[in-house]
Homo-oligomer: A and B are copies of this chain.
Amino acid sequence: MKIVVADDDRQMLGALRIILTAHGYDVLVAADGRQALDAAIEGHPDLVVLDLGMPGLDGLAVIDAIRGWSTVPILVISGRTDSAEKVDALDRGADDYVTKPFATDELLARIRALVRRMPTADDEPRVAFADVIVDLATRRVTRADSPVRLTPTEWRILELLVRNPDRLITRETILTEVWGPHHTSDSGYLRLYLAQLRKKLEADPAHPRHLITEAGMGYRFVPQGE
């Protein structure tokens, strides 16, 4: 769940970043309207938290710009309490409006309420190699148009590799990403799962062409094995 937070007050911005990160959100910060707009475009967030009192590009203009191409929920934060600005912001496309100062737990509850309304974003890519299709949106893997059953651990490893094509993933990275930050020593089970994945996805498991071992370092997913 990715959130863009825009506020020109550095202290407030930092506080929001810490709070939201602590509650499990991925946070992209922006210190002015221009950065907010860029972050909203580049980051594909699930929510935008926008302070209205920003220099440069005005907060209301940011709402207009975002609404020009996106329906992402926008939660406005503002120091102004007069209803005129609330009405203006809401009618331009904002979904909620909170006045400073605000209670942190209320902000979090309003964020949850907005995210709850969001249809699950399905801009997840579909990765294909050989006769295998990995659909990250539906969490489904098909090979030659027939479904492949993966265990949860197998899926997590495959997802990690597939999301980073052509990049080398160290064994340590896989262990911490899949088994948690405390697992750094491999007593052999990682190789087991890689073997399992190859058995299920590679044409010739003994000579893999897409799930490549980099000796001494880790593994690499190659979409188009020559």
Residues of A within 8 A of B (CB): 83-84, 86-87, 90-91, 94-97, 103, 105-106, 108-110, 112-113, 116-117, 119-120, 122, 137-140, 151-152, 155, 163-164, 166-168, 177, 181, 214-217, 220
Known contacts A112-B181, A167-B138; A105 and B120 CB within 8 A of each other: no
Report whether over half of chain A's contact residues are helix, strand or loop; otherwise say mixed: mixed
- Check B110–A90 contact: CB distance below 8 A: yes
- Check A103–B83 contact: CB distance below 8 A: yes
Known contacts A83-B105, A86-B106, A90-B110; A217 and B181 CB within 8 A of each other: no
- Check B109–A86 contact: CB distance below 8 A: yes
- Check B105–A138 contact: CB distance below 8 A: no
A110: which B residues are within 8 A, CB to CB? Answer: 90, 97
Known contacts A87-B106, A90-B109, A117-B117; A217 and B152 CB within 8 A of each other: yes
- Check A166–B152 contact: CB distance below 8 A: no
Q: Which of B87, B155, B168 contacts A105 (CB 8 A)?
A: B87
- Check B139–A217 contact: CB distance below 8 A: yes
Interface centre among A87, A96, A119, A152 (most CB of B within 10 A): A87
A217: which B residues are within 8 A, CB to CB? Answer: 139, 152, 155
Known contacts A86-B109, A90-B110, A95-B113; A168 and B139 CB within 8 A of each other: yes
A95 to B114 CA separation, bound complex (whole angstroms): 7
Smallest CB-CB separation from A180: which chain B residue?
A: B112
- Check A91–B117 contact: CB distance below 8 A: no
- Check A167–B120 contact: CB distance below 8 A: yes
A216: which B residues are within 8 A, CB to CB? Answer: 151-152
- Check A112–B90 contact: CB distance below 8 A: yes
A105: which B residues are within 8 A, CB to CB? Answer: 83-84, 87
